[in-house]
Amino acid sequence: MHRIPYGRNGSSENRRVILLVHGLLNQAEHFLIAGMYNGSLAYLLADNEFDVWLANCRGTNHSRQHISLSSEDPMFWNFSWHEIGKYDLPAKIDYILEKTKKRKIFYAGYSQGGTSFYVMCTERPEYQDKIILASLMAPSAFFPETKKIPLANFFSTNHEEIMELVDDYSLYCFPSIKYSLGEVLMSLCVDSLFDNQCYIFLLETTGAKPENINPYMLPLWFRFSPKVAAKQIVHYLQLIYSGTFRKFDYGTTKNLQIYGQSKPPDYPVGNITAPIAFYSSLGDFMAEYSDIQQMCSRILSCERSFLLRSKHFSHFDFILSNKVEKKLNVPMLRFMQRYDEDGTTKIKNKLVE
Ligand SMILES: *[C@@H]1O[C@H](CO)[C@@H](O)[C@H](O)[C@H]1NC(C)=O
Ligand SMILES: *[C@@H]1O[C@H](CO)[C@@H](O)[C@H](O)[C@H]1NC(C)=O
Ligand SMILES: *[C@@H]1O[C@H](CO)[C@@H](O)[C@H](O)[C@H]1NC(C)=O
Ligand SMILES: *[C@@H]1O[C@H](CO)[C@@H](O)[C@H](O)[C@H]1NC(C)=O
Ligand SMILES: *[C@@H]1O[C@H](CO)[C@@H](O)[C@H](O)[C@H]1NC(C)=O
């Protein structure tokens, strides 16, 4: 983890503590690249009396030290966001509570940082009492509409074949043990390194809208994109395919061994009790509004569902947009400030905006 204990105004007593958890193909730096004066969430929180802890999930550049396995060993990469939520988030929370002598912390997760939060709440329910409020930005779980995108449909329909390829060729790490996706993509743009059009084009292929992109962030976005485990991606493809938020599908035989049933069990999201504020956008095809509404309606502790009504605010804009401070980060901060540092709430009503 990285930590920003206080911001430009110096230290003060009783700062609220928050853990920020990045998305797939991101690491801690992605919460910083918008810059101190341009609305980076981490700096904004530090300047507003938060003690900010930034997670680096396993496999990212800063999280490769395994007790017995080298990160060059394919077995190092035998994990999905399930293990991140079940083992790593609780370990991070315990560490933060011990260091800060607090009883509870705030949580904010983007994309996979939301998915793994759901896993923690259902697999390790005792950790929910340690959360004052979780702000989940574009968290995906059910993917109700994603199959309508041809490429997503193709890959999710063929998720079994993809996993076979992974096993047969030991492609446990995406895109490879040697290179990160960022390095691969940057090499595509190498002839035009100072021409951001190349980066913008690459992002547009994923649905990002060029008019939102702050061009000076792009090389940073790619540079800090780490490798991920193939299983993290395949697990998401399985969700897209089944439309069900459930554990990793190993195929009937192994499912019977591991889970005692032929299909993987669902994560019981209806049992989640941690207070959650959801942030979604109409322009996001990876974590759709209907997905997030479905989650909010199943969870009694859904305290807010905040919708960005712009069709031009894509999944990546939660980090990359030049409007992220005004549109998202400040409203999110203001909502967190309604909660006391010890976790008692000043509001009781469910907000849907
Ligand atoms: C803020 O973003 C603009 C581009 O939108 C950039 O020119 C400027 O250098 C950034 N400022 C800081 C302090 O990061
Ligand atoms: C920082 O301190 C200055 C002056 O002391 C004050 O005007 C400003 O609002 C403070 N900023 C924050 C974010 O608390
Ligand atoms: C990967 O981990 C899973 C679950 O922890 C385990 O069942 C499986 O055997 C492991 N795969 C290999 C090849 O060891
Ligand atoms: C990972 O760290 C190495 C060495 O510190 C650095 O060269 C590389 O650019 C980093 N990659 C990412 C994705 O942060
Ligand atoms: C979810 O809650 C129900 C009702 O309280 C309980 O019976 C069930 O065991 C819980 N499921 C899990 C997996 O914790």
- Domain contains 240: no
- Domain contains 311: yes
Q: How many domains does the chain have?
A: 1
Of 41, 16, 20, the C-alpha closest to 104 is: 16
Give the strand pairing for 131-137 and 2-4.
unpaired
> What single letter denotes the amino acid at residue 83?
E
Q: Count of residues for the chain? A: 353
Tell me, using a 6 A CB cutoff, whether residue 12 lines ligand 3. no
For ligand 2, atom 8, the nearest C-alpha belongs to 9
Residue 211 has what pLDDT? 74
Residues annotated catalytic, as ranges: 111, 284, 315
For ligand 1, atom 2, the nearest C-alpha belongs to 38
Rounded to two decimals, the pTM is: 0.91
Sign of CA dihedral 40, 145, 270, 125: negative
- Domain contains 28: yes
- Domain contains 164: no
DSSP state of 267: P
Cβ neighbours for 84, distance < 8 A, ≥ 6 positions apart: 57, 58, 112, 116, 119
Instruction: Output the CA torsion 289→326→56→9 (10° steps).
Output: -150
* Three-class SS state of 136: strand
- Domain contains 147: no
Residue 334 has what pLDDT? 95
Please report, in angstroms and rounded to a whole number, the separation of the first and last CA atoms in the chain: 33
- Domain contains 282: yes
Q: What is the mean pLDDT of each run of 10 residues along the chain (353 residues)?
A: 93 90 94 85 95 96 93 91 98 97 96 97 98 96 81 84 79 78 75 64 69 76 87 93 94 95 97 96 88 92 93 86 89 93 61 57
Residue 353 has what pLDDT? 58
For ligand 2, atom 14, the nearest C-alpha belongs to 48
Structure tokens at 331: 């409203």
CA distances to 32, 39, 46, 57, 100 from 4, rounded to whole Å, are: 11, 15, 7, 17, 13
Probe residue for ligand 3, chosen from 66, 78, 83, 163 as the CB with the greatest number of ligand atoms within 8 Å: 78
| CA–CA gap between residue 185 and residue 269 (Å, rounded) | 36
For ligand 1, atom 13, the nearest C-alpha belongs to 37
- Domain contains 60: yes
48 C-alpha to ligand 2 centroid (Å): 9
Does an H or E element contain 46, and which? helix 41-46
Cβ neighbours for 229, distance < 8 A, ≥ 6 positions apart: 59, 77, 78, 79, 80, 172, 173, 174
Tell me, using a 6 A CB cutoff, whether residue 258 lines ligand 3. yes
| CA–CA gap between residue 265 and residue 172 (Å, rounded) | 24
| CA–CA gap between residue 306 and residue 204 (Å, rounded) | 25
Nearest ligand atom owner, CA of 272:
5
- Domain contains 348: no
What residue numbers bound the domain in which 130 lies?
2-141+247-336
What angle is formed at CA 168 by the lines to CA 158 and CA 88, rounded to 5 degrees? 80
Q: In this structure, what CATH number is given to the domain that contains residue 37?
A: 3.40.50.1820
Residue 206 has what pLDDT? 66
